[in-house]
Amino acid sequence: MTSSSNPQSNQPLPYSRRHLLRAIAGGGLGTIAMVFLRPAAAAGQDLEELCSMFPQNSRCLDYLPGVQALDAEGDAIALDTFLPTTSPGVPQPVQGLPSVTYLVIESGPAIAPYGIRPVCPHRGCAVIWQADQNRFACPCHGSKFDAQGRRLRGPARQSLPLVTVVERQNQIRLIDRAPAIDPR
Ligand code: FES
């Protein structure tokens, strides 16, 4: 085994220059192998990321990003039977993500490509939908938000946070990520 010596102490160094170059080359090959031989789970995660941000991308036509929206009983919601039960301007609460999501119903009726997380941006209290006032209200300090979650009154300074909503294969899919651009 080849080894270098330390001129200060005359002790052999643990690695020669050749060993060092081998280690660097090995590391590079390891990195290349990691990129090209990634586990399927990582590739699926990439597709989830891509389709969450760009659901209309051609690679995402058959891919179902996020999680399926569920009704209050925990049953999957079918878009074609759900839509006729909705009214434009009246948000619909659905399950699926860790906390409830309010779907925004547009004229048609149609599902908006975003949903509302009913969490007050002031101090994080759960806001309540007030159907008679057509708005969300925070019970903690009185902030108000319209049916699209836009801020009407403080102390909250921002509108309600959003998640991304995708319609695909008669399903409503919820993606726990705000749209790239706030559509409100
Ligand atoms: S937490 Fe909602 S207004 Fe303060």
- Of the two residues 44 and 71, the one the predictor is more confident about is 71
Query: Does residue 136 lie in a domain region?
Result: yes
CATH number, residue 75? 2.102.10.10
Q: Which residues line ligand 1 (CB under 6 A)?
A: 120, 122-123, 125, 138, 140-143, 155-156
Instruction: Please count the other Cβ atoms lying within 10 Å of the Cβ belonging to residue 124.
Output: 9
Q: CA 86 to CA 164: how far, in whole Å?
A: 19
Q: What's the whole-number mean pLDDT along residues 29-40?
A: 47
Q: Which atom of ligand 1 is nearest to 123's Cα?
A: 1
Q: Which residue's CA is the nearest one to ligand 1's atom 4? A: 141
Strand order in the sheet with 171-175: 67-68, 171-175, 162-168, 110-116, 101-106, 92-94
Q: Which residue's CA is the nearest one to ligand 1's atom 3? A: 141
Query: Does residue 56 lie in a domain region?
Result: no
Q: CA 60 to CA 75: how far, in whole Å?
A: 25
Q: What's the whole-number mean pLDDT along residues 73-101?
A: 94
- Of the two residues 4 and 126, the one the predictor is more confident about is 126
Q: CA 102 to CA 89: how far, in whole Å?
A: 11
Q: What pLDDT score was predicted for residue 27?
A: 46
Indicate the range of 30-34, 61-65, 119-123 predicted with least confidence: 30-34
Residue 109: is its pLDDT beyond 80? yes
Query: Does residue 180 lie in a domain region?
Result: no
- Of the two residues 101 and 3, the one the predictor is more confident about is 101
Q: CA 157 to CA 56: how far, in whole Å?
A: 32
Query: Does residue 78 lie in a domain region?
Result: yes
Query: Does residue 24 lie in a domain region?
Result: no
Helix (H) or strand (E) holding 167: strand 162-168
Is the separation of the CB atoms in 86 and 78 below 8 Å? no
Percent of the chain with pLDDT over 90: 53
**What is the domain count for the chain?**
1
- Record the pTM: 0.72
Q: What pLDDT score was predicted for residue 168?
A: 87
Mean residue pLDDT of the chain comes to 81
Q: CA 125 to CA 76: how far, in whole Å?
A: 28
Query: Does residue 105 lie in a domain region?
Result: yes
Mutate to test the pocket of ligand 1, among 119, 123, 158 (most ligand atoms within 8 A of CB): 123
Which 8-state DSSP code applies to residue 161? Answer: P
Query: Does residue 73 lie in a domain region?
Result: yes
Is the separation of the CB atoms in 151 and 158 below 8 Å? yes
The domain of 132 spans 66-175
Query: Does residue 39 lie in a domain region?
Result: no
Is the separation of the CB atoms in 143 and 137 below 8 Å? yes
Q: What's the whole-number mean pLDDT along residues 149-169?
A: 94
Q: What pLDDT score was predicted for residue 89?
A: 92
Look at the block and give the residue holding tokens 């002031």. 122
Residue 31: is its pLDDT beyond 90? no
Q: What pLDDT score was predicted for residue 154?
A: 87
Q: Which residue's CA is the nearest one to ligand 1's atom 1? A: 123
Indicate the range of 30-44, 56-70, 87-101 predicted with least confidence: 30-44
Mutate to test the pocket of ligand 1, among 119, 136, 138 (most ligand atoms within 8 A of CB): 138
